[in-house]
Amino acid sequence: MKKVLSIVLLCLSLSLAAQDKIEITEKDYANTEVPMADVMRSNGKIYVVVGVVMVIFAGMIIFMVNTERKVSKLEQEFLDEKG
């Protein structure tokens, strides 16, 4: 009963949140400037943002590779004990 009630309330809340629609105009499609990025680019700070994003992305990749190696090692140990 709790699951059904939760699903109903979730669907209701999602449908209510989707009611605030903003009309997209032709001006929105023609917009090619991003003021925040232009300011950051002119100050040279965009490179700091790109650097931080790259460091975070590299850290995530290294973490996933190390985790995959550990899992593969454990799988191999399990298969060796089983067989």
Give me the mean pLDDT over the 23-28 stretch: 79
Taking the C-alpha atoms of residue 46 and residue 34, their distance in angstroms, rounded to an integer, is 12
28 confidence band (pLDDT: 50, 70, 90): confident
Q: Within 13 Å of residue 67, how many CA atoms lie on the same side as its CB?
A: 6
Report domain extents, the chain.
Answer: 34-83
User: What is the phi/psi pair of residue 32, to 5°?
Assistant: -120, 0
pTM for this prediction? 0.54
How is 5-72 classified by DSSP, letter by letter? Answer: HHHHHHHHHHHHHTT------HHHHH----HHHHHHHHHTTHHHHHHHHHHHHHHHHHHHHHHHHHHH
